[in-house]
Amino acid sequence: MSTTGATADPLATLASLPGVAESVESVRKAVDRVYGHRIMRRRSNEITAEAALRGARGSAALSGADWALEEVRRRTDFSGDEEARKVGAALRLTAESGQLLSIWRQSPLRVLARLHLVAAADGEDAVGRPRQDGEPVDEPLVELPLPGAAEVAGRLEGLSQLIIAGGAAPALVTAAVVHGELLALRPFGTHNGLVARAAERIVLIGSGLDPKSVCPAEVGHAELGRAAYLAALEGYVSGTPQGMAAWIAHCGKAAGLGARESTAVCEALQRGAA
């Protein structure tokens, strides 16, 4: 996404695209249904914990580790094969996201570096910093053209400035742009998808739309499927109004499905079945 030009608030401009207001309103209603559920008044911590687990599972699935929820719940060791390490990284990121809210609005690039460190969980020199020219990127599920290091640095700085400046754009729009920009740039050598979805989560929580983190958009992204996810991302990368609106709408559907998932958890708890 270009962050230069005459428009003072490009996020607000995106919010005015056809169909975006409807997506924003739909997500708000879905979130309100969760927060209005009687179980949320007494057992919100349980809903938050379950949403975190399901969100991590969904994010890992989009990165190629599509495990059953009960397998994720059962496991205690995620140091085995590549799939296990991806699931472990997704779980760590979900846990870490809630600890970084106060830093995000002041220093989003610092938060992104921390997220990559948490996901990678090793001490290699390239971990926690944007990649340099010539450094490989291991993100096989996203096959879009890879921007060069100078473009990555410039666009990350522009994204950071937008977040720090704030503005009137709805949380869904900001979250979708953060998510899409990180996937388009793939600024790190590894774990870019996991980091992008964790950053989307941070925006949705920190904006006040989902302060208890009970509406995991990652669940919805996984439910909508990898093909739809990548097709919507291509729309974002195109930079056209139609493509950007389609990506925001896709993120809105995902957030709505995440809210629906937690509503179902609330109803199961109410019935005493979970």
In Å, what is the CA distance from 221 to each residue of 52, 180, 201, 233, 257? 14, 13, 12, 12, 8
Closest CA to 34 of 274, 271, 228, 257: 257
CA 184 remoteness from chain centre: 13
CB of 116 closer than 8 Å to CB of 179: no
Closest CA to 44 of 211, 254, 253: 211
Partnered with residue 190 across adjacent β-strands are: 138
pLDDT range class, residue 3, cuts 50, 70, 90 = very low
Please list, in sequence order, all residues whose beta carbon lies within 8 angstroms of the beta carbon of residue 89, skipping any fewer than 6 positions away: 60, 78, 118, 119, 120, 121, 191, 194
Q: List, for residues 38-58, the tens digit of each pLDDT value.
A: 999 999 999 999 999 999 999
Q: What is the mean pLDDT of residues 192-200?
A: 98
Identify the pLDDT of residue 26.
97
